[in-house]
Amino acid sequence: MSVGRCVVLVPAPYQGHITPMLQLGSILQSRGFSIFVAHSEYNSPDPSNHPSFSFIPLPDDVADLDKSFLNSLNVLDAINANCKEPLRDFLVQMMENEKLHGQIACIVYDTIMNFVDEVVNNLQLPSIVMRPNTAAYVRAHHTVFQLLAKNCLPLPESQMEDDVPNLDPFKYKDMPLPLSLEMPERVFDFMKETYEIGSSRAIIWNTIDELEHHHLSMLQQIFHVPFFCLGPFHKMAPPSKTSLLKEDNSCIEWLDKQQPNSVLYVSLGSIVAMDDKEVMETAWGLINSEQPFLWVIRDIFANGAKANAQLPDGFEEIIGERGCLVKWAPQKKVLRHSAVGGFWSHCGWNSILESISEGVPMICRPDFSDQFINSRYVAHVWNMGLELEGPLERGKVEEIVRRLMVDEEGKEVRNRTIDMKHKFQESVEKGGASYQSLNQLTDFISSLSS
Ligand code: UDP
């Protein structure tokens, strides 16, 4: 019996990174590659969601580390150090048992898992980098490195509103500058490590060439390897579950009872949280807007206490049937639902791709990392959302919700989002840009070790 070729994926252990990597696995599997997922034990994906993949947990020794957001760099450093040997051992074993598993065509890794480069170089295996963010975000890194080299950081407050030269239409306040400069060297080193691609032969992007053509062309002058833009991944792959948390499907029954386009979906992804005051102001803003809403409040919002502990007293009675709260939603299903007419989002890239793919306009409330770049794209370049800036106050929340969900302005924003949805569809259909790019990637991977 002949065995085919396999691809080994190495995802980074966060929801926004695991999701696109698993989707990429489904895409490559549809092109005949068998898929192995070598992942850290921390935040390991659920193998039962992908019975046709082989999952290989890499011992990471981070069980006792503080997993709070501010300590994430230390956790990633430990994973990058501790997973090296286990990955090497696994790949050696695979190479020795080629007759059983098929030849390794290549390793695809998330740039955050930069330890992979050393391992594959030692074993002389080809690798490809997967970037889960936009090309603009990667270019913004370059801007930050230039500021650093010129000793311009931290930037004065007065410069934040200025346009970044050669990075139109982004402003300095959109750049991925560290939240604090307490350990700047390590933060900047990490940014450089995730920017570089080592000896990788190509970059796979979860973006659409038409959206980011200019930034991709500029990056092509820096990274001299083929680019493959297959976005949005989730529309290129058969649907699959990728959530690390349990999805609460009860909200779909609630959505079934709502009017078309009437519900605002509020979700800040897997990391961003609100403080007590923000939860309270958001709650009153939503109540006062008089619009139906579905709000995801993860447990962490309440520091381990009851998830809705910070909500106004009697909140659930006040909202009655007009609101629905869950701890984690089946987001793609929610956005596909005809009752959903708007998405208050932290502007994680997966969330934006999912929202545009269903023609759902957004309220943009970025918090850190690439979210500012993504928000500028959505609110100011593509005009598919409204930006909610400054401290959260109930009056502002009420106003922006009504602007998106009720006013003429919201209808125009929705129409533009629907136009873009159609472009996304064209891109993934036979003959479309992402579809063609996948054909090229399939040939490219097949050529790597033949
Ligand atoms: N998500 C979900 N249910 C929720 C909230 C989020 O399934 O209640 C999914 C969402 O569909 C997306 C991912 O979690 O695919 C979040 O990724 P994103 O890049 O938007 O944000 P991050 O979590 O990385 O900040």
Distance 330 CA to ligand 1 centre (A): 9
With beta carbons less than 8 A apart as the criterion, state whether 137 and 373 touch: yes
Nearest CA residue ID for atom 24, ligand 1: 16
Nearest CA residue ID for atom 6, ligand 1: 269
Q: What is the ipTM of this complex?
A: 0.99
Q: Name the residue of 233, 270, 272 to mutate for ligand 1: max ligand atoms within 8 A of Cβ.
A: 270
CB 243 near ligand 1, within 6 Å: yes
Distance 16 CA to ligand 1 centre (A): 6
Distance 248 CA to ligand 1 centre (A): 14
Q: For position 184, what pLDDT does the model report? A: 73
CB 29 near ligand 1, within 6 Å: no
Residue ranges for the chain with pLDDT beneath 50: 1-2, 302, 304
Residue with tokens 């709260």: 325
Determine how many CB atoms are found less than 10 A away from the CB of residue 347.
29
With beta carbons less than 8 A apart as the criterion, state whether 356 and 421 touch: yes
Q: Name the residue of 255, 328, 347, 350 to mutate for ligand 1: max ligand atoms within 8 A of Cβ.
A: 350
* Per-residue tokens: 406: 């009720």
Determine the Cα–Cα distance for residues 290 and 143; give it in Å rounded to an integer. 43
HSE (side-chain half, CA atoms, 13 Å) at 154 = 12
Q: For position 1, what pLDDT does the model report? A: 42
Distance 356 CA to ligand 1 centre (A): 14
Determine the Cα–Cα distance for residues 176 and 346; give it in Å rounded to an integer. 15
Determine the Cα–Cα distance for residues 367 and 258; give it in Å rounded to an integer. 30
With beta carbons less than 8 A apart as the criterion, state whether 78 and 72 touch: no
Which neighbouring-strand residues pair with 104? 6
Residue with tokens 């910070």: 310
CB 352 near ligand 1, within 6 Å: no
3-state DSSP percent of the chain in helix, strand and coil, to 5: 50, 15, 40
Q: Helix or strand or coil: residue 190? A: helix
Determine the Cα–Cα distance for residues 214 and 263; give it in Å rounded to an integer. 35
CB 369 near ligand 1, within 6 Å: no
* Per-residue tokens: 253: 């029954």
Q: Which H helix or E strand runs over 35?
A: strand 34-40
Distances, alpha carbon 299 to alpha carbons 1, 68, 244, 306, 327, in Å = 50, 14, 14, 7, 7
CB 270 near ligand 1, within 6 Å: yes
Radius of gyration of the chain (CA): 22
Determine the Cα–Cα distance for residues 338 and 351; give it in Å rounded to an integer. 17
Beta strands in 147-226, from DSSP E residues, in sequence order:
203-205
Q: Helix or strand or coil: residue 295? A: strand
Distances, alpha carbon 427 to alpha carbons 20, 202, 207, 357, in Å = 17, 21, 11, 11
Q: For position 153, what pLDDT does the model report? A: 87
CB 329 near ligand 1, within 6 Å: yes
Determine the Cα–Cα distance for residues 193 and 336; give it in Å rounded to an integer. 37
**Residue at 292: amino acid letter:** P
With beta carbons less than 8 A apart as the criterion, state whether 176 and 137 touch: yes
Q: Name the residue of 14, 15, 372 to mutate for ligand 1: max ligand atoms within 8 A of Cβ.
A: 15
Q: Name the residue of 14, 18, 19, 43 to mutate for ligand 1: max ligand atoms within 8 A of Cβ.
A: 19
**Residue at 37: amino acid letter:** V
CB 228 near ligand 1, within 6 Å: no
Distance 86 CA to ligand 1 centre (A): 29
Determine the Cα–Cα distance for residues 17 and 369; give it in Å rounded to an integer. 13
CB 328 near ligand 1, within 6 Å: yes
Distance 304 CA to ligand 1 centre (A): 20
Residue with tokens 């502990």: 309
Distance 130 CA to ligand 1 centre (A): 18
Global pTM value: 0.96
Distance 204 CA to ligand 1 centre (A): 20
HSE (side-chain half, CA atoms, 13 Å) at 338 = 5
Q: What is the DSSP string of 361-387?
A: -EEE---STTHHHHHHIIIIIS--EEE
Nearest CA residue ID for atom 11, ligand 1: 331
CB 351 near ligand 1, within 6 Å: yes
Determine how many CB atoms are found less than 10 A away from the CB of residue 376.
21
Nearest CA residue ID for atom 13, ligand 1: 16
Determine the Cα–Cα distance for residues 274 and 254; give it in Å rounded to an integer. 24
Cα angle for residues 113, 209, 364 (degrees, 5° grid) = 75
